[in-house]
Amino acid sequence: MAIRKPTPKGEKSAAMAELLAQAGQESKFKNGSLVEGTVSAIKGDEVFIDIGYKSEGSIDISEFGEGAEVKPGDKVTVMLRELENDKTGMVVLSKRAADEKIRWEKILDRYVEGCVVTGTIKSAVRGGLLVQIDDVEAFLPGSQIEVAPVKDLEPYVGQTYDFKVIKISNERRNLIVSRRELIEGVQAEKKAELLASLQKGEIRKGRVKNITDFGAFVSIEDAIDGLLHITDMSWARIKHPSEIIKVGQELDVMVLDVDRERERVSLGLKQTMPNPWDAIQDQFPVGARVQGKVVNLAAYGAFVEIAPGIEGLVHISEFSWTKRVARASDMLNVGDEVQVVVLSIDVENQKIALGIRQTQANPWDTVQDRFPVGSKVKGKVRNFTAYGAFVELEEGIDGMIHVSDMSWTRKINHPSECLQKGQEVEAVVLDVNPKEQRISLGLKQAQTDPWTEIATKYPVGMVVKGKVSKVASFGAFVELEDGVDGLVHISQISDQRVEKVKDALDVGQEVEARVVKVDRAERRIGLSIRAMSMTEDEIKALEAEAAGETPASTSTKTAGSETLGGLSAAFDNAFANVEWQPGESN
């Protein structure tokens, strides 16, 4: 077993000191640390630095700056990059890196995020601008230059502004600043102050910032934007705000409403100008005739501007005295100049009723002179209604023929039974009502009344021939000469019981019948097919009854086993109790 000799006390102390010194030196010399050194020699472009390590390091003379005077013995602070280079065995140093670190540490001591600094814009680079702040170069992103986007950066070069430091980047060792945040901060304060001071009804100066279809946004004192709605721009009707304002225009506007919670302001431009409706009744009294311009058309009428900001409505009923206007566009176009008369004014609701026809003479005022009652007139059938036909006498002037005034001899249920549209007719004026704009005409009154000779032409007992013109549930109408119809009651069609008229007679069928009743007052003729078999005595008795006599033969039976008086009564009941309607059949 080997025995180790103890180390002498003096030698042990020296070794320990050497180890401690070596450990201290290693802790001092770490990559990236700043160390103090002395220029030991200069050889060509190489400057040798002694940092107190076992080997020296060298630095290219260019790191000292252009024109710098370096001499042995100069003290210099450098950054230790590598303690021993694998190839040269020398220490790798950098003065430039040391200077940059020292500069950055000073920046960190001087600036913090959020602080405000003053700087001058040096140049434009990709994405923004470079700003010189003292000896520090900062970056100003393009989005942080102004509140609104900036397209052209060149005008900012050389300008000095205040900036807010929004980020300090240790990795890139640079500052990122913003001018926009300072502007927004100032604006926010100014906006809050202005919003608190705004009062309804006051006039403020503003500048048009933006125009939309519904209005414009106006900046008040460059602090808050208010909405100027299109309806509050002008007392006159406008289709688009660009008709009266433009972007950048300075305006005096009235504060209409302030919503401080939502930070919204409503503005008015027309409210700063006199309201033309205040003196409307003096300017345009009822009955006045004025010149106007059509500014809008609706189905029910036309809006006419008679003064700036003053529009009135001409209803289609006030377009013409005689023409039937379905739509305003049938007579007028936007932009037309027209003469109108003021009919009424509603100041509270800002409405004016206008009339165009009142600027012309009303033809109905003199219609009685042109179409006096009793005169004969001619015209064309223009239209039908269920109760009559309208005949155009002159443009816009119609007369109406009622169905009851169309025929002396026939019951007319619809005008199309005896008239056609476009047919020219002659009629007699029965009545004229200018106020209601109505003229009543009679078609039958223009013809001779055949009933003045009916009793003579168709005496009771006479045999007549005709065609069945209509069939009803109670009998059949037979058309005789002169358009006169006689009625064959269902009980007088046959000796046998007839359940349905259509089973015995057809429209268009020719029949022979005997006249058994003539009522001139009611314009009715009663016929009987059954009575065709009457004897001479029965015929005489029938004639006597028609004449109001009561002959002894009234007790004689007819071919249908009825008295002659019964025949007459049957027809009285038929005419009195049954109303024939077109198309009715059993």
Q: Are 10 and 17 in contact (CB under 8 A)?
A: no
Span 249-260, mean pLDDT? Answer: 92
The CATH number that applies at residue 178 is 2.40.50.140
Establish if 543 belongs to a structural domain.
yes
Residues 382 and 352 in one domain: no
Q: What does the pLDDT read at residue 110?
A: 81
Higher per-residue confidence, 55 vs 267: 267
**Smallest Cα–Cα separation from 37: which of 47, 26, 15, 52?**
52
Residues 458 and 523 in one domain: yes
40 exposure class (CB count in 10 Å sphere: 0-12, 13-18, 19+): middle
* Structural domain ending residue among the three candidates 237, 272, 307: 272
Q: What does the pLDDT read at residue 16?
A: 52
Residues 487 and 531 in one domain: yes
Reading the block at residue 94, the tokens are: 């950098």
**Smallest Cα–Cα separation from 173: which of 233, 101, 241, 123?**
101
Say if residue 463's pLDDT is above 60.
Answer: yes
Residues 370 and 486 in one domain: no
Residue pLDDT, tens place only, 79-132:
888 877 657 678 889 888 888 888 888 877 888 888 999 999 999 999 999 999
Residues 395 and 367 in one domain: yes
Establish if 192 belongs to a structural domain.
no
Number of domains in the chain: 6
Report percent pLDDT > 70 for the chain: 87
Establish if 130 belongs to a structural domain.
yes
Say if residue 352's pLDDT is above 70.
Answer: yes
* Structural domain ending residue among the three candidates 446, 466, 498: 446
Residues 464 and 540 in one domain: yes
Reading the block at residue 11, the tokens are: 């030698």
Q: Are 443 and 404 in contact (CB under 8 A)?
A: no
Using CA atoms, how far residue 145 sits from 55, 169, 184, 384, in Å, is: 52, 19, 11, 80
**How are beta strands 337-346 and 424-433 bridged, if at all?**
unpaired
* Structural domain ending residue among the three candidates 248, 272, 296: 272
Which helix or strand (DSSP H or E) is residue 102 part of? helix 95-110
Mean pLDDT of the chain: 83
Owning domain of residue 290? 276-359
Compute the CA torsion angle 12, 14, 20, 26 (nearest 10 deg).
Answer: -130
Residues 386 and 345 in one domain: no
Residues 331 and 398 in one domain: no
Establish if 67 belongs to a structural domain.
yes
pLDDT band of residue 551 (cuts 50, 70, 90) is very low
Helix (H, G, I), strand (E, B) or coil at 51: coil
Span 254-271, mean pLDDT? Answer: 91
Reading the block at residue 284, the tokens are: 């345009």
Say if residue 496's pLDDT is above 50.
Answer: yes
* CB neighbours of residue 407 within 10 Å: 19
Residues 334 and 368 in one domain: no
DSSP per-residue string spanning 202-268: -EEEEEEEEE-SSEEEEEETTTEEEEEEGGGT-SS--S-GGGT--TT-EEEEEEEEEETTTTEEEEE
Establish if 520 belongs to a structural domain.
yes
Say if residue 452's pLDDT is above 60.
Answer: yes
Fill in the amino acid letter for 35. Answer: V
Residue pLDDT, tens place only, 204-219:
999 999 999 999 999 9
* Alpha carbon distance 222, 141 (integer Å): 24
- 371-399 per-residue burial string, b: 16 or more CB within 10 A, e: under 16: beeeeebebebeeeeeebbbbebeeebbb
Residue pLDDT, tens place only, 331-349:
899 999 999 999 999 988 8
Using CA atoms, how far residue 104 sits from 101, 110, 168, 234, 311, in Å, is: 5, 10, 10, 62, 74
Which helix or strand (DSSP H or E) is residue 341 part of? strand 337-346
* Alpha carbon distance 463, 530 (integer Å): 12
Reading the block at residue 519, the tokens are: 């009522």
pLDDT band of residue 411 (cuts 50, 70, 90) is confident
Residues 467 and 573 in one domain: yes
Which helix or strand (DSSP H or E) is residue 78 part of? strand 75-82
DSSP 559: T
Residues 502 and 470 in one domain: yes
Reading the block at residue 135, the tokens are: 């000896």
**Smallest Cα–Cα separation from 392: which of 384, 402, 382?**
382
Q: What are phi and psi of 2, to 5 degrees?
A: -80, 140
Fill in the amino acid letter for 295. Answer: V
Q: What are phi and psi of 98, to 5 degrees?
A: -65, -45
Establish if 468 belongs to a structural domain.
yes
Establish if 9 belongs to a structural domain.
no
Helix (H, G, I), strand (E, B) or coil at 284: coil
Higher per-residue confidence, 548 vs 192: 192
Alpha helices in 458-535 (DSSP H): 501-504
Q: Position of tokens 């019951």?
A: 411
Establish if 312 belongs to a structural domain.
yes
Residues 468 and 573 in one domain: yes
Reading the block at residue 147, the tokens are: 């509140």
Distance between start and end Cα atoms, the chain: 156
